[in-house]
């Protein structure tokens, strides 16, 4: 795996460095042209030209436009002019060559686009980072974007990212620097859907070390790997094949129930959602029962269940006497305004 990782990183850095190298060469070429121009101006001033005449004579000489000399040239002036023509024309041609190479090969355009994307990612906070833009990563990113979430996608295959308008990085998710460049230190969640379970476990370990509080969802290609993802630090290990098979069975046995859950969880065209609201420390609802709070009457959202603490027990259809405590999660069904009202009541 280390060899594979090193080769991928070299390839990716080669693409990034080519853009930086093109900009660096353009900068050197411009500096060389300015240096030649400065030498020409100083030389002509020494030969008796006024500053304006020296600038004019230098520009026309370097540009080879063929205008006459501003003043008659002495032998020293002729020698200096010939030397200036040789070095000046060479420098101008080098500038043109470097600029044309950067434009035709796309290095400059890629570098400018990368800088713009970096600035856009730098402004994000509370977004979701998706590592891997294959079938699973693409579906996850599409749903997040459709539901109004900010997403940054990382993939080592530039062809997968072609045509993307949302923030993305062509890089290796196995590199911590790439995760931080995607704003993982400011993200609310990380979805890892890489091509192999080995790479997914590696990134899970790295991400958990960088952000102990981050929500990490890791895709497992096998049922056995699902538990390994959790052991590596994932908040959840998800096996899409297992989930897909269970959903197919649910549609076969309880089609209406399965379709209802599918609609409220994944259909972006309707406003109803099942969402969760966590009771924060110091909330005014702490220590009060559901009957006393009357969450349904005050917000309109239906309370479907509660979860005690961090990954604690679920309590479906909780009785009115149930008392809310700090850290408890309220799972409710409602439209966006009802869920916002519920979150305001709870103090989330």
Question: What's the predicted TM-score (pTM) here?
Answer: 0.64
180-205 pLDDT, tens digit per residue, is 999 999 999 999 999 999 999 999 99
In the predicted model, is pLDDT for residue 333 greater than 50? yes
In this structure, whether the domain defined by 271-346 belongs to CATH 3.50.50.60 is answered with: no
- Cite the beta strand spans of the chain per DSSP E: 128-131, 151-155, 168-170, 189-192, 215-219, 236-238, 273-278, 302-307, 314-316, 329-334
Tokens representing residue 210 in the block: 């960088």
Dihedral of alpha carbons 130, 135, 139, 140, sign: negative
The CATH number of the domain covering residues in 124-238:
3.40.50.720
Rounded mean pLDDT, 167-190: 93
- C-beta of residue 165 within 8 angstroms of C-beta of residue 120: no
> How many helices and strands in the chain, by DSSP H and E?
14, 10
Count the neighbouring beta carbons within 10 Å of the beta carbon of residue 162: 8
* Nearest CA among 55, 59, 33, 32 for reference residue 44: 55
| From-to residues of CATH 3.40.50.720 in the chain | 124-238
Rounded mean pLDDT, 145-154: 91
Distance CA 86, CA 126 (A): 58
φ, ψ of residue 318 to 5 degrees: the values are -60, 140
| From-to residues of CATH 3.30.70.1450 in the chain | 271-346
Q: Which of 115-119, 176-180, 287-291 has the lowest mean pLDDT?
A: 115-119
Quick one: pLDDT at residue 10?
46
285-331 pLDDT, tens digit per residue, is 999 999 999 998 999 999 999 998 766 788 899 999 999 999 899 99
244-270 pLDDT, tens digit per residue, is 898 889 889 988 888 888 877 777 677
Pairing of strands 236-238, 128-131: unpaired
Domain 2-109 class? mainly alpha
- C-beta of residue 168 within 8 angstroms of C-beta of residue 153: yes
| From-to residues of CATH 1.10.287.70 in the chain | 2-109
């Amino acid at each position: 795996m280390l060899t594979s990782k090193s080769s991928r990183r070299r390839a990716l850095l080669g693409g990034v460095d080519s853009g930086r190298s093109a900009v660096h060469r353009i900068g050197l070429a411009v500096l060389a042209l300015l240096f030649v121009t400065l030498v020409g101006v100083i030389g002509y001033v020494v030969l008796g030209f006024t500053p304006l005449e020296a600038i004019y004579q230098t520009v026309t000489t370097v540009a080879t436009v063929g205008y006459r000399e501003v003043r008659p040239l002495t032998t020293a002036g002729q020698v200096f002019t010939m030397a200036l023509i040789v070095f000046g024309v060479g420098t101008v041609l080098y500038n043109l060559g470097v600029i044309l190479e950067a434009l035709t090969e796309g290095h400059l355009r890629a570098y400018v686009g990368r800088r713009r994307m970096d600035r856009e990612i730098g402004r994000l906070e509370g977004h979701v980072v998706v590592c891997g833009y294959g079938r699973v990563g693409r579906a996850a990113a599409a749903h997040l974007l459709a539901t109004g979430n900010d997403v940054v996608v990382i993939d080592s295959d530039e062809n997968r990212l072609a045509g993307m308008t949302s923030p993305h990085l062509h890089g290796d998710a196995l590199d911590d620097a790439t995760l931080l460049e995607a704003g993982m230190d400011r993200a609310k969640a990380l979805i890892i859907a890489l091509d192999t379970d080995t790479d997914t476990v590696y990134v899970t370990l790295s991400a958990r070390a960088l952000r102990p509080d981050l929500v990490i969802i890791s895709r497992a290609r096998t049922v056995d790997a699902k538990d390994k993802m959790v052991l590596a630090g994932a908040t959840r290990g998800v096996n899409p094949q297992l989930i897909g098979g269970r959903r197919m069975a649910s549609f076969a046995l309880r089609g209406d129930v399965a379709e209802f859950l599918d609609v409220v969880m994944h259909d972006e065209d309707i406003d109803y959602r099942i969402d969760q609201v966590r009771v924060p420390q110091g909330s005014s609802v702490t220590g009060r029962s559901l009957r006393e709070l009357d969450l349904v009457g005050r917000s309109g959202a239906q309370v479907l269940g509660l979860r005690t603490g961090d990954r604690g027990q679920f309590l479906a259809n909780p009785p009115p006497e149930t008392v809310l405590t700090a850290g408890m999660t309220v799972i409710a069904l409602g439209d966006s305004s009802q869920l916002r009202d519920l979150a305001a009541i709870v103090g989330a």
